[in-house]
Amino acid sequence: MSIKKYLFCLIFSCTIFFFVQPNETGYAKEKEMDDLYEQRMSLYKKTETLTQLPWYYIAAIDQYERQIHKNLPDDQLVSIRIQPEVWYGIGNYPLIKDEQIITLFDGKGKDGNGDGKADPENPEDILYTMAQILLESGPTEDDIKIGLWNYYQRELTVHTIKNTAKVFKKFKHIYLTDRDFPVSLQHNFSYRSTFGDPRGFGGLRIHEGTDIFANYGTPVKSTTYGVVEMLGWNLYGGWRIGVRDIYNIYHYYAHLNGYDDEVKVGMIVKPGDVLGSVGSSGYGPPGTSGKFPPHLHYGMYKDNGEKEWSFDPYPYLRKWERMAKDK
Ligand SMILES: [Zn+2]
């Protein structure tokens, strides 16, 4: 083979490698994730059959805990962690996994898979135990709320789990990966990365979000699956809406011209649902408008079960814009 031919073959096979490789691994990864979600779903349903606690509560607790623990492997099946003293009971120092002995020490650990051991590392045992802990306060929706409160002792956590459960129940699934861009692509808009820039109004603040400039009345849409948590006037944000998604991320839409008639607190939304329209409200008492050009201020806040902080939405907006264009 001549050098030229050899080089051509080399370049050709490299090109094939680079073009084919990402698609194939992407597909394999997607398939893996599908399988993982299917496995999780079947465990939640199995727990429901055993305990009568609806699967979407169990799924929502697992989903919540997956967001609050650090450095979890992507493919971890179940992420709920029950503290050893709660699982084994105080005084059960040898950490005996026999259910009767655990009960003797007032531990909560239960055997969910019938292997004779209550193992805090076993997904079925964990889910079964968690369901039993929740059901201690009773089976109705209000009882479950009390059960969540008794276990987590934090209002935002109870709220988030309840709302995630509502989303799972409505869409009948946990693998909800669709996203949308918050401003209608049929209208003119522009945005750039300004997270962290200084802002003058209301003292020295930094800019916690991305401004998407568009004309008055341009539809503003939900980017994710979630539940409307906040609605109304706020000094800086004007007419604003807050949606918390199933990853415990709070999406903040500010300076709206108005809301869609349907939108209210507690409403379940999906990507693309219209929330309101672009305006220039804010920076004053209710009704103040026109102090700056019309735009949507879009902010994202993450909660880790202890505190909440803002992070830069810009890279996500770019990604969702591409996703929305590809639809
Ligand atoms: Zn802004």
Q: How far apart are CA 158 and CA 146, in angstroms?
A: 9
The Cβ of residue 272 has, within 10 Å, a number of other Cβ atoms equal to: 17
Gap between the terminal Cα atoms of the chain: 46
Instruction: Quote the ligand 1 centre to 4 CA distance (angstroms).
Output: 57
Residue-level pLDDT, tens digit, the chain, 327 residues = 455 655 555 555 544 444 444 455 677 888 888 999 999 999 999 999 999 999 999 999 999 999 999 989 988 999 999 999 999 999 998 999 999 999 999 999 999 999 999 999 999 999 999 999 999 999 999 999 999 999 999 999 999 999 999 999 999 999 999 999 999 999 999 999 989 888 766 666 788 999 999 999 999 999 999 999 999 999 999 999 999 999 999 999 999 999 999 999 999 999 999 999 999 999 999 999 999 999 999 999 999 999 999 999 999 999 999 999 988
Report H helices in the chain.
Answer: 3-51, 55-68, 84-88, 99-104, 123-135, 141-152, 155-171, 314-326
Question: Going by DSSP bridges, is the β-strand pair 198-199/205-206 parallel, antiparallel, or unpaired?
Answer: antiparallel
Asked if residues 280 and 255 have their Cβ atoms less than 8 Å apart, the reply is: yes
- The per-type count for the chain, helices as H runs and strands as E runs, is 8, 12
What structural domains does the chain harbor? 29-171 (no CATH), 189-326 (2.70.70.10)
Instruction: Quote the ligand 1 centre to 208 CA distance (angstroms).
Output: 7
CA distances from 69 to 78, 86, 264, 326 (A): 12, 18, 31, 34
Instruction: Quote the ligand 1 centre to 264 CA distance (angstroms).
Output: 23
Helix or strand (DSSP H, E) at 242: strand 238-245
**Which residue from 320, 236, 230 is spatially nearest to 275, judged by alpha carbons?**
230
> Tell me, what's the pLDDT at 160?
96
Instruction: Quote the ligand 1 centre to 20 CA distance (angstroms).
Output: 41
Instruction: Quote the ligand 1 centre to 318 CA distance (angstroms).
Output: 16
**Which residue from 234, 216, 213, 241 is spatially nearest to 283, judged by alpha carbons?**
234
Q: How far apart are CA 102 and CA 96, in angstroms?
A: 7
Instruction: Quote the ligand 1 centre to 296 CA distance (angstroms).
Output: 7
Instruction: Quote the ligand 1 centre to 282 CA distance (angstroms).
Output: 11
CA-CA-CA-CA torsion for 284, 289, 291, 297, nearest 10 degrees?
90
> Tell me, what's the pLDDT at 2?
57
Instruction: Quote the ligand 1 centre to 209 CA distance (angstroms).
Output: 6
**Which residue from 97, 129, 245 is spatially nearest to 178, judged by alpha carbons?**
245
Asked if residues 243 and 250 have their Cβ atoms less than 8 Å apart, the reply is: yes
Instruction: Quote the ligand 1 centre to 299 CA distance (angstroms).
Output: 8
Q: How far apart are CA 188 and CA 99, in angstroms?
A: 63
The amino acid present at 131, given as its one-letter code, is A
> Tell me, what's the pLDDT at 22?
47
Q: How far apart are CA 5 and CA 97, in angstroms?
A: 67
> Tell me, what's the pLDDT at 15?
46
Which of helix, strand or coil describes residue 319? Answer: helix
> Tell me, what's the pLDDT at 206?
85
**Which residue from 245, 248, 290 is spatially nearest to 268, judged by alpha carbons?**
245
Instruction: Quote the ligand 1 centre to 50 CA distance (angstroms).
Output: 49
> Tell me, what's the pLDDT at 74?
86
